[in-house]
Structure 1
Amino acid sequence: MARIERARASIRVELHPAAKAAYTWIRDLPRWVNLPEVPASLRAQLAVQPIEGVMNQAQFRLYAPLWQALIWPEHQPPAGTLLICMQEAEITETEIERSAWVSALGSLLQAVEPRSISEVRDRLSESMPIRLHKELLGSRTLSDVTLSRWTGGARSTLSTQRKQKRSRAAQPEVPKSPRDILAELNAEWQPSD
């Protein structure tokens, strides 16, 4: 049965051998965001998210989630990080390997569509409380300049994406089926405002 420990200097965290291929894949995955550009306060919060691994004496062998190891200072989780510990007899190598790959593929499923960067930024500004913006990002909102620096994209790209979205929203909706078209033609004409 899994137990919880907190990371500390006396517990050495290493990658579980069954998770090595998945970790190598995720480490070399082309990133949309340049991690060193993300504010240190946000990276620090991400780094202390709970991790799963196999505990053997004072050694914790990590297998999921793997992406956090990419942002750990000095290749170790920060003190206090929750370690979800399994014993060797409680989990098989196959289960560890599967969990590692699920973790790695989860990053792929969470990837952002590059043509929607401006929408991601706008929705974040609308959804995240200002106090969290200040705490995690160091400003009242995630600016176009900051997001462009993170992603390596041009700031003008965000403006262009917003203009295209407004343009699409302003276009009238086209009926989707012949039945819809006939219903539109048979409807009483109303002058537009």
Structure 2
Amino acid sequence: MQYNQQQKFKKAVLISILLHILLFGLLFIGSRLEEVRPMGGGEGNGEVLGAIMVDTGAAAQEWGRLQQEKKGNPLSKREIADKEREQQSKEQAEKERQEQQKIKEAKEKAEQAAREKAEQEAKEKAEQLAKEQAEKAAKEKAEKLAKEQAEKAALAEAQAKKEAKEKEAKAAADAKAKAEKVAAEAKAKAKAEKEAKEKAEKAAAEAKAKA
């Protein structure tokens, strides 16, 4: 808007200068014609001079109109400079506002990225901790189970040894008892046989003596 007003003002000033030059040129030409052709010298001369005067009058009216417009809406150099400074100040303020907006957006993006990174790190840390705890619990459970199984195996082994020892002792006792029984039976048989022999011999001796 300010730029368009400045352009219009410059254009009006340029037109005014051109009209001034044209006016003075026409006046100069008119004065020269009056010197060459005196007044009342002929109808043709009057028409030429009249045309020149009409053109000069029209140019003067146009110039006057432009001056009135200029006076009606004057813009001094100071006002133009003030408006330019005001426009530059507005543009600078807008530029600074945009820069501040960019900085704000960049800061928000950085903060968002930092939050997301922190959340991701916390999530990964929690997952790692949960994994470690699960592994620890599984390890402890496995160790406990292995210990229980080892204890059960030890008890079973001890029980088996005890039972084997008891069976061995029983078998030994049974074997001893059986051996003792066989020995007793053999001794009794031998005694019986001896007694029978002695009895037979005695009987034979008695029978011989009687004969």
Q: TM-score range by the shorter chain?
A: under 0.3
Q: Which has the larger radius of gyration?
A: 2
TM-score by length of 2: 0.19
**Which structure carries more relative contact order (alpha carbon 8 Å, separation 6+)?**
1
Q: Give 1 or 2: higher strand fraction.
A: 1
